[in-house]
Amino acid sequence: MVVRFNRRKGRYERQGVLVEEAGLARAEQRCLADAEARRRRRARDARRREREDARFAEAFAAEIRRLFPGCPPERARDIAGHASVRGSGRVGRSAAGRALSEGAVTSAVAASVRHLDTPYDELLMSGVPRHEARRRIGAAVEGALRVWRGGREGAEGERGLGEGAAPSPPMDAHVCDRVARPWAPYSHRVFLVVTGEAGQDRGGKRELTLDMMDGPYFVLVVIGVVGTGLVAGVFCAFSTFVMPGLASLPPAQGVAAMRAINRAALMPAFLLLFLGSAVLCAVIAVVTFVLWPDRVTVELLLGSALYLFGSFGVTMMANVPRNEALAKLEPGTQEASAYWPAYVREWSAWNHVRTVASAAAMVSYSLALS
């Protein structure tokens, strides 16, 4: 036995076994001598395992149909075949699965519904954590399982099926309309397509709503509420006491103080708040327009428009040009003293506009969250 000390791991590790060349040759000959017998034995074992796997898959599918009589036979066979693949580590190969326990069979059916009949995979691909994605589609999975169990009364009481819904026949198809929505925090509609008796509501479709207003999009809107609210507070301070206070000063002192305030406003803290909120509102507007959710569309687009046009736009088109004109005048000069009253009046009027617009944007985003 050959060993070598691994300094990084601090231990001896086996490298191999030293043998004579003649001994190695004899071992190779013995391996070649019974190679054909071992190949035939492997083939027999493989055929035996295939028969065992086929019988187990049939038994698993039969148990699925017993527990879920509404499950289509072909779907039951697909679920059983997927769950019982040898070496896959899936629930069908666990001890409980091989014993055909009700919990293992139900877990296999629920996993099939989760991956094939809900937007679960799309949610994972969009970055939603696994536990959160399962929570979102939990109502849809439970609804499908209850329909397949034949529990007609349970299907109507499930979240998203609507109040007063009529009982539905056993399900003969699966949930469709799987559209990837990476930024979709709104209630995305998923339809359970049910075939069977006539007279079903919505042309044979029973609507199921998933509450998705808690993903990345939700976080963006919350940040939008905070950002627009803080900007509105800053502007409100200028409208209520900063500008009136400066207007009461002599023109030379008022001009000097306002120029100092305008220079301080260019610091990173305020620019990050003001410009960052504008970028965030633009992102919310674009994503909302592209996805066009069934609800809160008006609130989100209105909030973005109010801030982008009423706050950011007014600042760039009205307040900033006046600040630049004031910066060109020296305090104490006749030109500065003559310009100061008009500056205070016009600047304050436009500041009132952007204060109201920022506050209204905050209210509109808040309504979207409620």
Q: What is the pLDDT of residue 13?
A: 85
The string of pLDDT tens digits covering residues 280-315 is 999 999 988 888 876 788 999 999 999 999 999 999
Q: What is the pLDDT of residue 97?
A: 86
Q: Using the predicted structure, report yes or no on whether residue 165 has a pLDDT greater than 60.
A: no
Kindly give, in sequence order, each residue whose CB lies less than 8 Å from that of residue 23, ignoring residues fewer than 6 positions away: none
HSE, side-chain direction, 13 A CA sphere, residue 364: 22
* Average model confidence (pLDDT) across the chain: 82
Identify which has the larger pLDDT, 14 or 129: 129
Q: What is the pLDDT of residue 198?
A: 35
Q: What is the pLDDT of residue 208?
A: 35
The string of pLDDT tens digits covering residues 261-273 is 999 999 999 999 9
Q: What is the pLDDT of residue 216?
A: 77
Contact in structure between 303 and 291 (CB atoms under 8 Å):
no
CA neighbor of 169 nearest in space, from 180, 184, 155: 155
Q: Residue written as tokens 């000063």?
A: 249
Kindly give, in sequence order, each residue whose CB lies less than 8 Å from that of residue 133, ignoring residues fewer than 6 positions away: 120, 123, 124
What secondary structure letter does DSSP report for 175?
B
With pLDDT > 90 as the criterion, what percentage of the chain qualifies? 58
With pLDDT > 70 as the criterion, what percentage of the chain qualifies? 82
Strand partners for 205: 193
Among the ranges given (48-52, 72-76, 191-195, 330-334), the one the predictor scored with the smallest mean pLDDT: 191-195
Among the ranges given (65-69, 240-244, 294-298), the one the predictor scored with the smallest mean pLDDT: 294-298
Q: What is the pLDDT of residue 170?
A: 38
Among the ranges given (57-66, 206-215, 217-226), the one the predictor scored with the smallest mean pLDDT: 206-215
The burial of 306, by beta-carbon neighbours within 10 Å (0-12 exposed, 13-18 middle, 19 or more buried), is given as buried
Which contacts (CB < 8 Å, 24+ apart) does range 157-164 have? 158/208, 159/209, 160/207, 160/208, 160/209, 160/210, 161/206, 161/207, 161/208, 162/206, 162/207
Identify which has the larger pLDDT, 185 or 43: 43
Q: Using the predicted structure, report yes or no on whether residue 228 has a pLDDT greater than 80.
A: yes
Q: Using the predicted structure, report yes or no on whether residue 151 has a pLDDT greater than 70.
A: no
Q: What is the pLDDT of residue 253?
A: 95
Q: What is the pLDDT of residue 98?
A: 87
How far is residue 320's CA from residue 345's CA, in Å, rounded to a whole number?
15
Among the ranges given (2-11, 204-213, 244-253), the one the predictor scored with the smallest mean pLDDT: 204-213
The string of pLDDT tens digits covering residues 109-118 is 999 999 999 9
What integer is the mean pLDDT of 133-151?
Answer: 89
Q: What is the pLDDT of residue 214?
A: 52
Among the ranges given (22-31, 175-184, 346-355), the one the predictor scored with the smallest mean pLDDT: 175-184
C-alpha R_g of the chain: 35
